[in-house]
Amino acid sequence: MRRSTSPDPIARSPRAPAARRRPPAAAGLTDKQNEPDHRQLRIDKVGVRGLRFPARVRDKNAESVQNTVATVGLFVDLPHEFKGTHMSRFVEALNAHGGFIHIESIPVILRDLQERLHAQNAHLELEFPFFLQKRAPVSKKPGVMDYTVRFEAAMMGKEYDFVLTVKCNVTTLCPCSKAIARYGAHNQRGEVTVQVRTADTFWIEDLIALIESCGSSEMYSLLKREDEKAVTERAYENPVFVEDLVRAVAVKLKARPGMTWYKVEAENYESIHNHNAYACIEHG
């Protein structure tokens, strides 16, 4: 998960904005997108979104790849002088690089978009479910947990930017409720969303583990009675506010080498209120 300012030297560089000239339309067919626009308004991002496509993601522990299905967005900038972009070329660029996307192919796809659409900037967004096997804490029964992962990449001229996002659920138990109640304390599911830019490789599994370590307890897909007892007691012994949650995640992110930017958001789906609790920290 890197931010680079020097893409592959053998890659073709995009044409400069002043030299953007589109090829002529197919014989006998009108090319409306190529017509001039007189409103003098450049468009920052235009393209396709909601395209589903196979993806392969490296699995750290198995030292292999995980096959999944991603929802894809592809975009470029559009100069003020053109009426529209050519939507079919986005899908052509995606399909030109094989039957699946992997992280190493993303810069290549972005450079291809720049070339095909004569654009200065190209963007790709990729969101997919990521699966991990987790064993229950006492019975050790295996279960499968799913997490939402998102890649956002951009090629701005020759500069490459990459943001990794992971959404992860944890259990949180209210410190105030524990302090004032005679019988237990209310808890809730907290959804933590972390976005990072880093100069070093940051495995998805490592970011998930970092987030899960900051809640009152981890969550599991399969719990026997002895596991439920352990999870409930662990949460009771480790109460955290939503503020504690984002601070704990931020402290651990800040301590990682190569971290250049992060944003941590937490939303607790309250069990005794008709609203949610939210907190956010951004740094870098």
Question: Measuring CA to CA, which residue among 121, 158, 108, 99 is closest to residue 20?
Answer: 121
Note whether residue 17 is domain-resident.
no
Note whether residue 169 is domain-resident.
yes
Note whether residue 117 is domain-resident.
yes
CB atoms within 10 A of CB 144: 10
Count of structural domains, the chain: 2
**pLDDT, the chain, mean:** 88
Pair 90, 112: CB distance under 8 Å: no
Note whether residue 6 is domain-resident.
no
Pair 279, 265: CB distance under 8 Å: yes
Q: Does 252 lie in the same domain as 162?
A: yes
| Residues 265, 165: Cα–Cα separation, whole Å | 11
Q: How confident is residue 12, by pLDDT bands cut at 50, 70 and 90?
A: very low
Residue 65 tokens read as: 């790849």
Determine which of 52-61, 156-165, 175-184 has the lowest per-residue pLDDT on average.
52-61
| Residues 103, 11: Cα–Cα separation, whole Å | 17
Q: Is the pLDDT of residue 31 over 90?
A: no
pLDDT digits (tens, 9 = 90+) for 178-213: 999 999 899 999 999 999 999 998 999 999 999 999
Note whether residue 38 is domain-resident.
no
The structure's pTM equals 0.85
Q: Is the pLDDT of residue 14 over 80?
A: no
Rounded mean pLDDT, 209-232:
97
For the beta sheet containing 277-283, the strands, ordered from the edge strand earlier in sequence to the opposite edge, are 43-59, 64-78, 121-135, 142-156, 159-173, 187-198, 259-269, 277-283
* Residue 198 DSSP SS3: strand
Domain that includes residue 260, residue range: 158-284
